[in-house]
Amino acid sequence: MNKKTLSSVIKPQSTVSHNTSHGNTPGAKTTLEVGEQKELQAENYLSMRGLIPIARNYRCKLGEIDLIMADGDYLVFVEVRFRRSAAFGYASETINHCKQTKLLRTAQRYLQQHNITDNQPCRFDTLCIQGLGSQQTFDWVKNAFA
């Protein structure tokens, strides 16, 4: 079986799109639409800092990875979290051990599915977006699960 390196994987893949309407107020965005918007903002934020997009919304039966990007030699799996306000906690507080384990297994499946070598350096980053509009902040944590 032919193993791949990171440079052979850096090809943007199509975005998974959802069209769900739950009878919300006309013009109001669904949770999925807001999530997709925040993931796109996160991708743009990280791209402006030198990361190269590879995939968005990778899904398999084990879970989902919001963004997969390249940072130098590293393949980076990014979990994006958003909170309108801190009234119910910070975005970063929602990434518990169970979620980390799910992300790890999903990333392993991605590597297997794309035939990427075991010696490929990888890391897990989080990008937490807090607030709205001019009050919005971005908190990027590299190697968040180390």
Q: Report domain 30-141's class.
A: alpha beta
Residue ranges per structural domain of the chain: 30-141
Q: Which amino acid, 25?
A: T
- Arithmetic mean of pLDDT, 69-73: 96
Looking at residue 77, its pLDDT comes to 97
- C-alpha dihedral, 70 to 76 to 77 to 82, nearest 10°: -90
What is the pLDDT confidence band of residue 91, given thresholds at 50, 70 and 90? Answer: low
- Predicted local distance difference test score (pLDDT) of residue 130: 85
Q: Average the pLDDT over 68-77 and give the result.
A: 96
pLDDT at 145: 83
In this predicted structure, the answer to whether residue 39 has a pLDDT above a threshold of 80 is yes
Q: How confident is the model at residue 1 (pLDDT cuts 50, 70, 90)?
A: very low
Specify the higher pLDDT residue, 131 or 11.
131
pLDDT band (50, 70, 90) for residue 13: very low
Query: Mean pLDDT over residues 83-109, rounded?
Result: 76
Structure-token pair, residue 15: 């975005």
3-state secondary structure of 79: strand
CA distances to 33, 40, 114, 130 from 84, rounded to whole Å, are 14, 16, 35, 6
